[in-house]
Amino acid sequence: MPLSWIDEEKYFAQFPGETWKGKTWLEQNKIIAADPQFIDALMENLSGRLFIRYIDAEILPSYDTPFSVDEVKYLFSPGQYEYSFENYFMTFSKKTRKKFNCELNRLHDQSVHYRYNHMPDIDWMFEKNISVYREDSYFYDNRFFRAFIDMIEFFKNNGLLLLSSLLVGGRLAAVDVGALWNNVYTVLAGGADRQFKGIAKLINFHHLKLACRRRFDIVDFLCGDFNWKSRFHLTPCPLYKLSLPQANDFTSFHVTEDRASIAA
C-alpha cells in the first residue's frame, strides 16, 4: 500500500495522509485492485493494527469487518430533475424560493458575469480562502498548498480543469476550482469576498445550473460539515472507516520510532 510518513505524528499513513485538525486530506479513499478478492486478501494478511478512513462503499471488503460511517459526502444528480434547474428549484418551499430570489436579485442588479479557466484568479482564491479561515484553511499548510498547485497544473494540462470565477459589478466576488472527469464534476475548493452578501449561494447555484445545462452525471461537493449542503437538498452519501482491530484514537499504520515495523 502507498504509505507516507507523517512526521508530526510519528506514523505512516496511506498516501498522502497528512493531517488537518485530526483528519486526513483524503476523500473517497480507494484501494486499487483488479478484483475485490485481492482487497480481501490484503486485509486478511495485515499483521498489525489498521485504521483507514474515507472508504468508498464500492470497495468495502466482502468479509465481516468492523466498518462504521466516517464522514458524509454530498452529491447533486441533474438527471434526478430531468436536467432542469427549474425542476430542482421547485423542490424548495415557496417561502425559501422567495428568500433566495430576493437575496440573489440584489447581486444580479449589480451586474453578474462569469469567466472560466482564467488562471490569474487562482491566486485571488487562495488569498481569500486563507484570509477567511486562517489556520483552519487547508492552504495554510504548505504541503497541501504545493500539492494543490501541482494538481491544478495537472488538470489544466489534461483538459480537466473547470475554474469558475464570479464577478459582480466588474469585481471578483468568488472563485471555485473544480475538475471534470468521466462526466462527474467535482468542486474542490474556493474563495469568496464576504462583502457580497449571498455570494456563496450564487456561485453554488451556478454549479448546479451548469451541471443541468451540460448534462453532467454528478456534481460532487465532497465532505464537510457545512449546513448549506443539506439546505440545498444535496444527496448525502456516507464514506466508511475501517479498524483492524479496534484502534481507538489510533490513526493509520503504527510504526516504531525507527520506522522499522510497518503493518503492511
* Domain boundary assignment for the chain: 3-74+238-244, 80-216
CATH topology for 80-216 is Aminopeptidase (3.40.630)
What are the beta bridge partners of residue 49?
none
Tell me if the pTM is above 0.85: no
Q: Which pLDDT score, from 0 to 100, does residue 61 have?
A: 62
Distance CA 41, CA 165 (A): 46
Strand boundaries in the chain, DSSP class E = 3-6, 11-14, 19-20, 23-24, 50-55, 67-76, 112-116, 161-168, 171-181, 184-192, 218-223, 235-244
Q: Which pLDDT score, from 0 to 100, does residue 65 have?
A: 62
Q: Which pLDDT score, from 0 to 100, does residue 214 have?
A: 96
CA distances from 222 to 26, 96, 194 (A): 10, 24, 22
Distance CA 241, CA 70 (A): 5
pLDDT band at residue 256 using 50, 70 and 90 as cut-offs: very low
Mean pLDDT of the chain: 82
In this structure, of 58-62, 139-143, 152-156, 246-250, the range with the lowest mean pLDDT score is 246-250
The proportion of the chain whose per-residue pLDDT surpasses 70, expressed as a percent, equals 78
The residues, any chain, with a CB within 8 Å of residue 157's CB and separated by 6 or more, are: none
- Examine the pLDDT at 263 and tell me if it is beyond 60: no
Terminal Cα distance for the chain, rounded: 7
Q: Which pLDDT score, from 0 to 100, does residue 142 have?
A: 85
